[in-house]
Amino acid sequence: MTKPALGFPLEGLKVLDMSRVLAGPFAGRMLCDLGADVVKVEPPEGDSTRLWGRMAGGISSYFNMANAGKRCISIDLRAEGARELVIELAAKADVVLENFRPDVMPRLGIGYEQLAAKNPRLIMLSISGFGRDGPESRRPAYAPIVHAELGLIHRVQNREGVKVDLPLSVADTNAGLHGLVALLSAVIMRDRTSLGQHIDLSMMDATLVSDDQLHFEIEHAEGTRNLPPDIWETGVGGILVSVDFRYLWKLLTTEFGITDPSTGDTPLEEKISLRRGAVAAFMQGLASWDAVERTMDKMNLAWGRVRAGKDLREQPTLASRASIVEIDDRAGGTRPVAQSPYRFSQASAGVRGAAPHRGEHNADVLAEWLGQSPATISALYASGIISRTPADPG
C-alpha cells in the first residue's frame, strides 16, 4: 500500500501482547494494523490456535488471522527469571494485553501493580470472561460459554427451533473491539495526566452492551420485535430481503401485478401460506442476477445475495476495497487474510505481514527493547526462559 506522509496512526506505540486464542490477540492485531509494534509473548507449548485451520509454512490460518504482522518472543513464565524479564519488557511498553483468568498474572508476580511499580505510564487491558471481581471471576470462558450465559443460544432456539452455538466468536471479537476503545481512550488520557491505568473488561459486559436485541428479552417484549427478514430462492440462488412480508406483498401486487390467491373468506393462516407461496413462485421465476437486481431496485428494497464464504472474493464491494489481501505464507507463496477495516484520509492502516513463528523474534525484541547483548540472549536460551520453534528459519 502507498504510505501517506503522516504514516501509521500508532507508530511508536509498544504493545506487549500476552494474550491467547482470540479476544486479546484480535485487539493486538488491530493495534498492529494501525502501526503499533506488537510483540506477542507465547508460552513454550504455543498458542492453542496454532493447531486450528489450514497450515502453511508451519502457521495455521486461525493463528495467522489473529496475529498477522506481530513479532513473537517465547517465554516460559514458570521458569526462574522469567518474571524479571517480563517486568523489564513491560517497563518499556506502553500497553500490555492479557486475557488470563484474573488471578493468574498476580500469582505469577506480573500483575498490574507489579508492572506499574516500574512503569506508572503503563496501560494494561485485561480481558476475562466474567470480570475481575464477583462470584464468577475465576471461571474459564471462551466465546461459546458467554453466548450460552447471555441467552444467545436460547434465542436462536426460540427463533430457529435449534439449540446451537453461533457460527462466529462474537463474544471474543466484541471484547477485543471494546477493549481497543478503552485502551486508546486511556492512551489519550495518559497524554493529559502522564498516568497509565488498568482496564478490567469482561466478555459478558462487552457482548451484553453490543446486543441490539437485548431489550426484547429483558423487557419481556419478544412479541413486539420487528419481523425477521425472509430468505427466498430465486432461479439463480438465495437472496435475503430486508422487509416486512406484508409490505413486500403490497409492492409485488402493485408493482408487478401478482394476483392474490386468497379470498376474503380464506382463514388467516391459509391466506398467509397462499400469499407466501405466490411470492416464492415469483422469486423462483427470476432467472438471472440482473433480473433480481432490477426487481429489487424497482421496489427500492434492501437485499443481499446469500453467498458461500468461499465466494467472498467475488463480492463486488470486498473486491473493489481490496478487503481480502494476500500476504506471505512463510513457504514461498501467499495466503489470504482480511484487511484492516480502518481507512484514513491522511494515514496508513493495514495488515503488515505474516504471523510469526513461536519465538521468532526473541533476539530482535530483546536487543531493541532492552538492549541485551547476544551473550545475554544466549544465556536466556540456556536457562530455558526463552525458546523458539526448532523449525523456524534463522
Which residues are catalytic, by number? 172
The amino acid present at 168, given as its one-letter code, is L
Q: What is the DSSP letter of 260?
A: P
How many CB atoms are closer than 10 A to CB 305? 16
SS3 assignment, position 97: strand
**8 Å CB contact between 357 and 392:** yes
Residues 6 or more apart whose Cβ sits within 8 Å of residue 259 = 253, 278
The strand pair at 14-17 and 95-98 is best described as parallel
Rounded Cα distance between 338 and 323, Å, is 6
Calculate helix-pair angle for 170-193, 23-33, nearest 10 degrees: 50
For 382, the grid coordinates are: 540456556
**Spatial contact of 358 and 72, defined as CB atoms under 8 Å apart:** yes
User: What's the grid cell of residue 25?
Assistant: 490477540
User: What DSSP letter does each residue of 119-165 carry, written as one string?
Assistant: -TT-EEEEEESS-SSSTTTT----HHHHHHHTTHHHHHHHHHS----
Cα separation, 13 vs 9, whole angstroms? 9
Angle between helices 362-370 and 374-383 (to 10 degrees): 130
Q: 176 with 22: CB under 8 angstroms?
A: yes
AA identity, residue 313:
R
d(CA 53, CA 260): 50
Look at residues 234, 242, 241, 173 and name the one whose alpha carbon lies nearest to residue 203: 173
Grid cell, residue 82, equals 522469567
Going through 235-357 in order, the beta strands assigned E by DSSP cover: 237-241, 303-305, 324-328, 334-338
Packing angle, helices 289-299 and 245-255, rounded to 10: 100
Place of cell 486479546: 24
